[in-house]
Structure 1
């Protein structure tokens, strides 16, 4: 078990079909403070992570994997989270990757 930040986002669970605010685990970047984030927040960088020229121009788009357990059905699924210029901009269910909890 490691540390992770969490992102609160409105998602529809692909396992039960119900919509709700879900808590997404993010293990990318600096997770030492275990932050609770929402869309629109800046995401913490690693202290020694270099800043690319694309970041400086505001053109950087990074897609990171998130993990989520639905609080309604207790089933899990994966989420693709977009970071644009290091800001959390979207979270979408990843239907191409199966969760760990069996149906």
Structure 2
């Protein structure tokens, strides 16, 4: 079983251009199947899997996440930006292609 966290947000799907809620799976911070929203404090350390192994300098980290649109059921990648331990923003990563055609 793969361990990850989830970021819930509303975004524009790059595949169908519909605005809808998405759950973005990401594999950084303390991975414990936790659910976050923009503005939440990200836990870095805990029992189990953590990536990076220690809190990054100043609590700043840029990492990728994977999402699937609830409307068109196509997937896409997002970049998630953590600043001072807070999930500050997330943007669609147009450089990375999804798996579902």
Q: Which bin holds the TM-score, normalised by the shorter protein?
A: 0.7 to 0.9
Q: CA deviation at 1:7?
A: 0.6
The answer for the alignment partner of 1:5 in structure 2 is 5
Alignment of 1:65-76 (within 5 A): 65-76=64-75
Aligned CA RMSD, in angstroms, stands at 1.6
The 5-angstrom pairing of residues 40-79 of structure 1 reads 40-47=39-46, 49-51=53-55, 54-55=57-58, 60-79=59-78
Structure 2, unmatched stretches of 5+, are none
Match of 1:20 in 2: 20
Q: Deviations over 1:12-44 (max 9, x none)?
A: 000111001111001112112x11110000111
| Higher percent of residues as strand | 2
Question: What TM-score does the superposition give when structure 2 sets the normalisation length?
Answer: 0.86
Task: Give the structure 2 partner of residue 100 of structure 1.
Answer: 99
Moved over 3 A (4+): 47-52
- TM-score, length-scaled by structure 1: 0.84
SS in 1 for 2:30: coil
